[in-house]
Structure 1
Amino acid sequence: MERENCQMSGSQSDSGVITMEDLEGFSEEGHSDSAYNSSLQDDAEQERLLNYWQNVGRGHQVEVPRDMAEPIQQLTRNNRTSQEREIVPFRLISQKEKCGEILYEERLYEKAKWACITVHEKQYEQSICLGFMKLMRYICEQNSTGTYLGLTIPVVTIVHTEESRTVLSQAVTVAYYLPLEFQNQPPQPNDTEIMIQEWPTTIVYSRTFRGTTNEQSILHEINMLAEALDFSEICLEDSFIMAGYTNPAARNRHNEIWFLRRL
Structure 2
Amino acid sequence: MLGLAVFASLCYLASAALNKPSFCRDLDCPKYTVLQSFPGFELRRYEMSQWVATKDLVTRYDALKNSNMFYKLFHYISGKNTLGMKMPMTAPVLRTVIPGVGRNNQQTMMEMHFMIPHNMQPFPPAPTDPTVYITTLPPLDVYVKSFGGFTNHRMNLMKVEELKNQINNRNLYHGDHFYTAGYDGPRSMNRHNEVWLVAKN
Normalising by structure 1, we get a TM-score of 0.61
**One-letter code aligned to 1:226:** K
Please state how far the C-alpha of 1:262 moved relative to its aligned partner: 2.2
> What is the distance in 1 between the residues matched to 2:200 and 2:65?
27
> What is the distance in 2 between the residues matched to 1:147 and 1:92?
34
| Aligned match of 1:187 | 125
Cα contact 1:213–1:248 (8 A) shared by 2: no
Larger radius of gyration: 1
Larger relative CO (CA 8 A, sep 6+): 1 or 2? Answer: 2
CA separation of 1:179 and 1:168: change in aligned 2, threshold 3 A: farther
Matched, 1:84 2:26: yes
Cα contact 2:30–2:49 (8 A) shared by 1: no
> What is the distance in 2 between the residues matched to 1:213 and 1:195?
27
Matched, 1:175 2:175: no
Match of 1:209 among 143, 147, 160: 147
Matched, 1:114 2:51: yes
Query: Any residues of structure 2 matched to 1:173-252 within 5 Å, and which?
Result: 173-248=111-186, 250=188
> What is the distance in 2 between the residues matched to 1:95 and 1:168?
35
Cα contact 1:153–1:177 (8 A) shared by 2: yes
Tell me the percent identity: 26
**SS of the residue 2:162 aligns to:** helix
Cα contact 2:41–2:144 (8 A) shared by 1: yes
Normalising by structure 2, we get a TM-score of 0.78
Please state how far the C-alpha of 1:252 moved relative to its aligned partner: 5.3
Match of 2:42 among 105, 109, 126: 105
**One-letter code aligned to 1:158:** T
Please state how far the C-alpha of 1:200 moved relative to its aligned partner: 1.0
Q: What is the count of residue pairs matched by the alignment? A: 172
